[in-house]
Every structure is written in structure tokens, then in C-alpha cells.
Amino acid sequence: MTKLWMTRPLPEKVQAAAEVLFDVTVRPMTSPLTVEEMRTALSEYDAVIPTLGDLFSEEIFKAEDSWRCRILANFGVGYNHIDVAAAKAAGITVTNTPGAVTDATADTAMTLMLMSARRAGEGERMVRAGHWEGWHPTQLLGMHLGGKTVGIVGMGRIGQAIARRCHFGFGMQVAYHSRSPKDLDFPAQPKESLLALAASVDVLVIAVPGGDETHHLINAEVLEAMQSHAHLINIARGNVVEESALIQALEDGQIGGAGLDVYEFEPAVPDALKRMENVVLLPHIGTAALEVREDMGLMTVANLEAFFAGETPPNLV
């Protein structure tokens, strides 16, 4: 029977579905794989379900001339932690789980937008600390999102889902910058450059894939272009934002605030960000809903089932 290694515990429904088809071993830890564990994964199993943090680099794949593993069915839409070209050169197929994460990630973006603009995190900390002395007219005045302009960096599936929520749900104007022209079913103004977009919006939302092309896409120059009241929201990958530049921009008052679900060196979060009241910090919960994680897991199982049946996996990278 085909041997499958789950590198993290997945929802019971997913594990049960996999066990019908494969000889499943579940790694009990939730930490990223070590180099030795990645080599074990490739040498002792026919298939592996890796996820964010499992850095399958070119060096890992080249460590042996031939591996037992034939497919990495990534749990997640982002796969920049896997060197796909090196995997293919080693004869290993890579799949992912697009679609299942779109709405949940877009909802998290809206959560961060609302919390950041309306100072919700700051207010909750005040209440929990026992420092709230009652309502008054000028307490915790934030920014109303209705009628404001949101800028979407990366108008892919998730970017469009965020834009629809902003336009139809909150009456916001939408602007965007994307690598390719988009045929959209809602009004949105394309901007010729990232700097032009950053300078023209009240909220800048990052929704691009991770990888070398987007590493530090949001840097000091982009942050300096933003308006002083504007908020930065990141639900993409942590290293898309140059974290040191963001900290400096926040400390200097160049931007109004930030909402982050991902971090450049996660799980490490700089103390400077933790100290700032105008920053909302979430622990990478973009897809953290049971139904969503079940859908993601079942998608990995479907990719594996198709592959071992000799068919093209539905979500081939």
C-alpha cells in the first residue's frame, strides 16, 4: 500500500479520508520539518503532505540521485517554500490547494482592515486591562472605511475577493496594481505602478504570492509614498514586506497603522511591533476555519488519489 506522510496533524475528516486510500503516518509535531526529516520524507515515503515552513530547497532534492517520494501534495495555496523546479528535476510532482482558501483569507483581510482602522485591538486591550473609564465623544477615534479607497496589490483570486467585499459590502472605491490586465466584474481603477497605488489609497492590502519576485516588494520607498493616515494590511507572505522598513515607517508616523497576519521571520514577531498600539497582530490565521482546513486537506487527498491513479492531479503546480 502507498505510504503517505502527513507532516502535521490535519483535521480528523481529512486523516480518515486519507487512511481509506493510503498507509498513513502522521507526524505529531506542528513545527516545520528539519533537514533530516525532509530527507526521511523523500526516502521513506511514496507521498508527503508538507506545508508552510517545510523548506524543500534545491539542496534537499539534490542530496540523492533518486528518491522514493513521487509527489509533494502541499497543504496550502502558497508553495514558495518548495523549489518546484528542483522537485520536478528530481522526478517529484508538486500540487497545492487553491480555491479553498480564497474566501477565508479575504475575510481575514477585512478583519485586519476593520480592527486596524477602528482601533479595535487597542480598545480591547484597554478594556481587558481595566483602564476603560466609560464612553466619551473623542475616545479611540479611528477611520471609517465607508467611502474610502482601498488599494489591492495583486488582483488574483484572493485580491478580487477582498475587493468585492470592500466595494459591495463597505462602499469603498477600489484601485489596484497587478502584473497582468484584469477583466473584473466590479468597478476598479488600475494604477500604472505600485508607488502610484500606494500614494492614492487609504488602505493598502497586500495579496500577492510569495517568492523571489515579491520579496520586499513593500519597502521603504513604497511606505514613504503612502499617505500619513493610510493603513497597510498583509495577508500574503511575511517577507513581501520589509519588516524593518515598516517598523521605521510606523515609528516615524509615515503611515497610520498596520494589520498583519504574517511576518518576515515568523513565528518571531519584533518587539517593536508588539509595543505599537496602532498595529494589529494576528498569528497567521488566514485560513483557520475548520471547514476551510477540511476542504484544503480533502483537496490534497484528491490530488494524491488522482496522481496514483495515473491521472493528472486537479491542482498541479
**Active-site residue list:** 237, 266, 284
- DSSP-derived secondary structure letter, 255: S
Q: How far is CA 90 from CA 7, 59, 114, 147, 244, in A?
A: 20, 11, 45, 52, 37
Q: How far is CA 187 from CA 103, 173, 203, 213, 231, in A?
A: 20, 8, 17, 28, 22
The per-residue DSSP string of 158-227 comes to HHHHHHHIIIIIH--EEEEE-SS----SS--EE-SSHHHHHHH-SEEEE----SGGGTT-B-HHHHHHS-
Nearby residues of 297 by Cβ (< 8 Å), 6 or more positions away: 10, 11, 13, 14, 15, 17, 18, 75
Give the C-alpha separation, 266 to 7, whole Å.
18
Whether 82 and 60 have beta carbons less than 8 Å apart is answered as no
Nearby residues of 149 by Cβ (< 8 Å), 6 or more positions away: 172, 173, 174, 175, 200, 201, 202, 203
Sheet holding 71-73, edge to edge: 23-26, 3-6, 47-49, 71-73, 93-95
Whether 224 and 198 have beta carbons less than 8 Å apart is answered as no
Whether 76 and 102 have beta carbons less than 8 Å apart is answered as no
| Pick from 41, 14, 39: nearest CA to 27 | 41
